[in-house]
């Protein structure tokens, strides 16, 4: 604002930002005014306020908007701001505090945010940028689980898909499980080693609680579960865990999990769990192994046979790693014990008793008083029930009616 000699306050001879019109609009105002139109009629025609028309007619022609200059307390501090902004990972409020403490500059948080806006865009772009890491043949296997609901026997069942991807050839191996427990990880890896005919030098995995006890994001110190450490020593590979909250480190397998969900499983129904497993084997062999990979430009099976198969460490007749679990369960009123969401029958006289359950090699064994009282094939899904086990005890309506001699 400027004051005239008469004490009348007048505006600067430049439009404000909220009154900005295009050159064509201003020309139209001048033409309509020349035809004798009033400012109210012109405003109604052009869809603006009457005062806006009056101001533009007073200016006479179009001119760009003048932004009022502001005093910038942060001028000359661009290098200091950039260094501190990166040091504090983009925290503008910490910058505001340090400006007051070190530079005696007191500004609002919004002022600091405006000053570092270009730096924040650079930081976001750098975080999104990814450098593709290619591994040598036989160097790395990436593993992960993905879950999806699948219709099996007419029932929507949650299935956990173990997906292993060789880093060089991109060849996949897929297994389906009813849970994501530690023995599922071990069984999936051993199945992949058998399918590929060898063991890679390194296995890259996520920070699953069943495998990694602790992973410090700052020091990158990793504490493996003792059984994973023993498993890795048994098969002779190194364990590498992704940085916390950075699953894209194993992006090849992340894409592999999505590929299985959207291609192998999408919209399909299966008559049984065994039918789903057979479908996954056929899909891996006839589709996933033979497709032309978008990154390598070759079929994974061809790339594996040519370069990677011979680079894997031979199995050398190593036996499977023992993954049996010892559990204690209480026998319910339905003459069954619950394991991994499934029910396995036991003799009815044991209702309310505590029994020892051993799960391993896809067999569930139930012991009581030093005797094996029931043996069942392990169920793959959840909410299943086995009424008669492999021990030969017959049953009626879910209850075993012939007791072992020690009961």
CA distances from 352 to 280, 347, 389 (A): 41, 11, 20
Q: Domain tally for the chain?
A: 4
- Ordered DSSP codes for 301-320: HHHIIIIIGGGSBP-TTPPP
pTM over 0.85: no
pLDDT in tens, 68-96: 555 577 888 888 888 888 888 788 888 88
HSE of 310, CA atoms in CB hemisphere, 13 A: 5
CA-based nearest residue to 28, from 3, 48, 8: 48
Among residues 100, 128, 156, which one ends one of the domains?
128
Residue with tokens 């999990």: 257
pLDDT on residue 174: 94
pLDDT on residue 95: 85
Same domain? 270 vs 307:
yes
- Domain presence at residue 265: yes
Same domain? 177 vs 231:
yes
Same domain? 240 vs 371:
no
- Domain presence at residue 50: yes
pLDDT in tens, 25-55: 888 888 888 888 898 988 888 888 888 888 8
Same domain? 18 vs 118:
no
What's the mean pLDDT in 215-224?
76
CB 168 within 8 A of CB 308: yes
Same domain? 262 vs 154:
yes
pLDDT in tens, 292-317: 988 888 999 999 999 999 999 998 88
CA 241 to chain centre: 15
Among residues 260, 276, 311, which one ends one of the domains?
311
Q: Which residue has better confidence, 59 or 406?
A: 59
Same domain? 10 vs 155:
no
Same domain? 223 vs 353:
no
Q: Looking at residue 278, what DSSP letter applies?
A: H
Give CA–CA dist 160/147, Å, rounded: 4
Question: Which domain does 7 fall in, by range?
Answer: 2-59
Give CA–CA dist 296/198, Å, rounded: 22
pLDDT in tens, 153-182: 888 989 999 999 999 999 999 999 988 888
- Domain presence at residue 320: no
Among the listed ranges 82-91, 127-136, 147-156, which one has the minimum average pLDDT value?
A: 127-136
- Domain presence at residue 270: yes
pLDDT on residue 92: 85
Token pair in block for residue 134: 């290619």
Same domain? 179 vs 304:
yes
Give CA–CA dist 73/67, Å, rounded: 18
Q: Which residues contact 237 (CB under 8 A, 6 or more apart)?
A: 141, 199, 200, 201, 202, 203, 313
- Domain presence at residue 68: no
Beta strand 385-386 pairing with 342-345:
parallel
- Domain presence at residue 65: no
Same domain? 282 vs 345:
no
pLDDT on residue 398: 36
- Domain presence at residue 227: yes
Token pair in block for residue 299: 């079929």
CATH of the domain at 53: 1.10.10
- Ordered DSSP codes for 3-21: E-TT--EE--SS--GGG--
Same domain? 371 vs 396:
yes
- Domain presence at residue 7: yes
Same domain? 148 vs 269:
yes
Q: What angle do CA 123, 125, 131 make, to 5 degrees?
A: 110
Same domain? 386 vs 299:
no
């Amino acid at each position: 604002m400027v004051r005239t000699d008469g004490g009348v306050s007048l505006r600067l001879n430049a439009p404000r930002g909220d009154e900005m019109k295009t050159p064509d609009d201003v020309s139209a105002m001048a033409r309509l005014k020349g035809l004798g139109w009033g400012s109210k009629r012109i405003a109604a025609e052009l869809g603006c306020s009457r005062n806006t028309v009056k101001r533009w007619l007073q200016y006479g022609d179009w001119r760009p908007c003048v932004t009022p200059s502001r005093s910038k307390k942060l001028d000359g501090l661009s290098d200091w701001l950039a260094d501190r902004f990166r040091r504090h990972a983009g925290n503008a409020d910490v910058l505001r505090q340090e400006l007051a403490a070190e530079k005696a500059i007191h500004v609002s948080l919004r002022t600091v945010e405006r000053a570092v806006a270009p730096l924040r865009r650079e930081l976001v772009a750098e975080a999104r940028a990814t450098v593709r890491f290619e591994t040598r043949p036989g160097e790395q296997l990436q593993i992960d689980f993905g879950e999806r609901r699948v219709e099996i026997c007419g029932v929507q069942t949650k299935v956990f898909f173990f997906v292993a991807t060789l880093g060089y050839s991109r060849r996949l191996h897929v297994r389906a499980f009813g849970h994501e427990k530690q023995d599922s990880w071990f069984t999936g890896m051993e199945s992949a080693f058998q399918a590929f005919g060898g063991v890679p030098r390194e296995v890259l995995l996520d920070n699953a609680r069943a495998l990694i006890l602790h992973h410090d994001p700052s020091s990158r110190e990793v504490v493996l579960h003792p059984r994973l450490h023993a498993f890795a020593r048994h098969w002779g590979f190194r364990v590498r865990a992704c940085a916390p909250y950075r699953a894209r480190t194993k992006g090849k397998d992340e894409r592999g999990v999505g590929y299985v969900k959207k291609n192998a499983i999408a919209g399909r129904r299966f008559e049984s769990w065994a039918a789903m497993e057979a479908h996954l084997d056929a899909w891996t062999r006839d589709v996933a192994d033979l497709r032309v990979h978008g990154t390598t430009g070759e079929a994974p099976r061809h790339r594996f046979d040519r370069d990677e198969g011979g680079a894997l460490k031979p199995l050398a007749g190593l036996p499977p790693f023992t993954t049996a679990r010892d559990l204690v369960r209480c026998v319910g009123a339905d003459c069954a014990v619950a394991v991994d969401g499934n029910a396995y029958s036991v003799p009815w006289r044991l209702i309310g008793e505590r029994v020892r359950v051993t799960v391993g090699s896809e067999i569930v064994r139930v012991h009581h008083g030093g005797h094996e009282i029931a043996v069942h094939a392990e169920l793959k899904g959840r909410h299943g029930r086995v009424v008669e086990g492999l021990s030969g005890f017959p049953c009626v309506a879910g209850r075993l009616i012939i007791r072992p001699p020690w009961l």
